[in-house]
Amino acid sequence: MRPKIVAANWKLNKTLNEGLDLVQFLLSKTNEHDNVIKILCPTFPLLYPIHQILDKNKKFYLGAQNCSAFERGAYTGEVSAAILKSVGCDYVIIGHSERRKIFNETEDILKEKLHIALKENLKVIYCVGEELNQRQEKLHFNVVKNQLENILSLNEDQLINVIIAYEPVWAIGTGINATPKQAQEMHQFIRETIATKSTEMANNIPILYGGSCNASNASQLFAQKDIDGGLIGSASLKGDEFIQIIYAAS
């Protein structure tokens, strides 16, 4: 049985004090929901201070929003997977649509990041999803299938450490979300695509929804057969709302 997973992507938000306050609030509200895997992904400078709090209770896991495609060396401003592991990260997000679009990360770059992160024993939340014009032109299945090629290149020992997050780019930060039917349709397609490599892995790999998931729509989305939780953006910045999303997944 696949686990339910709720991951918070804080993006470029929260100062140190704001982040620590939010973590303490979340910890005070989550005693009854240990059946949900809960992951917090703050900005790089907040990782170790938050790790020091989370390490004492194990209620949440720590994740990074990105990692370098390089292992080490003269790459000013980069943060390697090994460094992320050393400051307490369990997970890393790779391939988020904002990294693909704003920072021009190609499939080749993402493949390097994916393999380096797995080599350092980080679990990867790997993002795929189409833009609005691609959906309107009915190219969304082809786009996502192409984005899954890096996942299909992994062996089964690597795949067990991968979570896929489907994020319809047209629904991120817009307040527009895919309907449960639309989301389920794509999640099912992703699972069927993974099944071309391994039916067992397709049945076991968690797939999260990541497009404007919030407290009001989480229950309907998480009730879908192939949706195993959410990669939550803006709603994860509000303690009360994020707790409601965790409740919806439990």
Q: Is 187 known to be catalytic?
A: no
Give the separation between CA 123 and CA 240, rounded to whole angstroms.
27
| Catalytic-labelled residue, pool 98, 120, 130, 167 | 167
Give the separation between CA 43 and CA 65, rounded to whole angstroms.
7
| Catalytic-labelled residue, pool 96, 120, 130, 187 | 96
Give the separation between CA 133 and CA 127, rounded to whole angstroms.
18
Count of beta carbons in the 10 Å neighbourhood of residue 180: 17
In the 3-class helix/strand/coil scheme, how is the chain assigned residue by residue?
CCCEEEEEECCCCCCHHHHHHHHHHHHHCCCCCCCEEEEEECCHHHHHHHHHHHCCCCCCEEEECCCCCCCCCCCCCCCCHHHHHHCCCCEEEECCHHHHHHCCCCHHHHHHHHHHHHHCCCEEEEEECCCHHHHHCCCHHHHHHHHCHHHHCCCHHHHCCEEEEECCHHHCCCCCCCCHHHHHHHHHHHHHHHHCCCHHHHHHCCEEECCCCCCCCHHHHHCCCCCCEEEECHHHHCHHHHHHHHHHHC
Q: Is 185 known to be catalytic?
A: no
Note whether 91 and 62 are within 8 A (CB): yes
List active site positions: 96, 167
